[in-house]
Amino acid sequence: MENKGWATEEELANWFAIGQCTPGVIAVNTATFAGRKVLGNIGGVVATLGVVFPSLIIISLLAGVITTFAEVAWVKNAFAGIRVCVCVLIFNAVVKLWKKSVVDKKTLALYALILLASLLTDLSPVIFVLFAAVSGIVLQVALKKGGEAE
């Protein structure tokens, strides 16, 4: 990016930060930003398609191969073992996110509440996400305003 003169380091850092706090995959968000800067809205779309294109090809090929061999015993056993690693991968992601997200008692309470609710109910995650956004605004904006007024 810098070599092509499309973005400065600071801009990249900014995009990445915003990419993390907008919905969707971070890499996609950053690519959209970069594309938009170079070529406007069309550039944003084109850059995004560029990011997903290799994934699309590689995964389609791999998925085809894996589905073909999925019934073979040793492939099955291999995946049974790989699943153990998957657990580690997920909790690795959780630990990383934890450091940034659970910063005080309020966020800890929200974390515990949503974890329990999602384990115990069948509700769609969409509901939890909406609930969390609203309660975040209430906790940060509304309550603080009340505090200042006093």
Q: What residues from 16 to 35 belong to the interface with other proteins (CB under 8 A)? A: 18-29, 32-33
Eight-class DSSP state of 106: H
Which 104-143 positions form the footprint of other proteins (CB under 8 A)? 107-108, 110-115, 118-122, 124-126, 128-141
Query: Could you tell me the smallest distance in angstroms from the CB atom of residue 61 to other proteins?
Result: 10
Q: Does 8 bind other proteins (CB under 8 A)?
A: no
Nearest to 54 by CA among 31, 77, 22, 79: 31
- C-beta neighbour count of 75 within 10 angstroms: 13
Burial of 11 (0-12, 13-18, 19+ CB in 10 A): middle
> How big is the site for other proteins, counted in residues (CB under 8 A)?
81
Tell which one of 10, 74, 85, 105 touches other proteins (CB under 8 A).
85
Which of 62, 68, 69, 72 is close enough to bind other proteins by CB under 8 A?
62
List of residues 6+ apart from 117 with CB closer than 8 A: 123, 128
Residue 119 or 149 having the CB closest to other proteins: 119
Contact (Cβ atoms closer than 8 angstroms) between residue 56 and residue 26 = no
Work out which of 59, 68, 69, 72 binds other proteins, going by CB under 8 A: 59
